[in-house]
Amino acid sequence: MNFPKADTFPISVMRERSMGPNPLKLCEELLGLASIPAGSVVLDLGSGAGLTSALMARECGFVVYAADLWSDPSNNMRFFEECGLTNRQVVPLKADATALPFARGFFDAVVSVDSYNYFGRDPEYLGEHLLPLVKRGGELLFAIPGMVRDCHDDPPACLLASWTPEQLEFIHDIGWWRANIAQTEGAEILDMCEMACTREAWADWVACDNEYAVGDRVAVEAGAVDHLSTIAVRLRRR
């Protein structure tokens, strides 16, 4: 696949700041499902070390709020400045996904790459904590790590090579996510599909040399990606 926006970032930067399958490529493919105009105020939920926020601010012209519970906002701001961005273009903050400090209807859109499965598995999360922050008619885009088919009752050995059954409970198939999200009144499902760049994003990740990528490499080399997918979700607030 071609990734003109993701490819503006050096591979060394992607490897240094990635926390899972290449978030730049996942973000670019996800954004291709929608038409969010430049100047939109966008929440990057679970922004990690800031790669997706930098891409959206610099390459798409969004005003981005980069919210993450585990990353250091000061470290992320230094990275954004290295990317040529200012605090008028991207705002890093430490925030819990269940206690986001924003007014109702504040955002034109929400984007969440490789993190929604940590908090969104609760079927009440979307309606109680996230949807009210989006303007009516605004869109929510999620790239969710998932399974081709749920196999929790009998997980293949290649998955267990790197992950415990408890860790696998964080990933589900597209049918499970459709049923989960369909419970939220006011959230219209516009699209839900498996993403094309999953294998490429995983290959980029396990080529990194940090301990988490090295740990995941065992499963990937054993064939785990045959059972894994990335689920793209596009919603609109009614």
The pLDDT tens digits of the residues spanning 72-124 come to: 999 999 999 999 999 999 999 999 999 999 999 999 999 999 999 999 999 99
Q: What angle do CA 121, 15, 89 make, to 5 degrees?
A: 70
**pLDDT tens sequence across 196-225:** 999 999 999 999 999 999 999 999 999 999
- At 210 the pLDDT is 94
- At 24 the pLDDT is 98
Q: Average pLDDT of the chain? A: 98
**pLDDT tens sequence across 217-233:** 999 999 999 999 999 99
- CATH, range 6-153+169-198+227-237: 3.40.50.150
- At 203 the pLDDT is 98
- Mean pLDDT to the nearest integer, 180-191: 98
User: Hey, where are the domains in the chain?
Assistant: 6-153+169-198+227-237
- At 220 the pLDDT is 97
- At 183 the pLDDT is 97
Q: Which tokens go with 76?
A: 């992320």
How far apart, in whole angstroms, are the C-alpha atoms of residue 115 and residue 46? 6
Instruction: State the distance between the two ends of the chain, measured CA to CA, in whole angstroms.
Output: 33
- Mean pLDDT to the nearest integer, 135-148: 98
- At 132 the pLDDT is 98
The sign of the CA dihedral 94, 42, 170, 123 is: positive
Q: Which tokens go with 84?
A: 């040529």
**Alpha carbon 83 to chain centroid, angstroms:** 20
- Mean pLDDT to the nearest integer, 135-150: 98
Residue bearing tokens 């993403």: 195
How far apart, in whole angstroms, are the C-alpha atoms of residue 231 and residue 129? 21
How far apart, in whole angstroms, are the C-alpha atoms of residue 12 and residue 175? 36
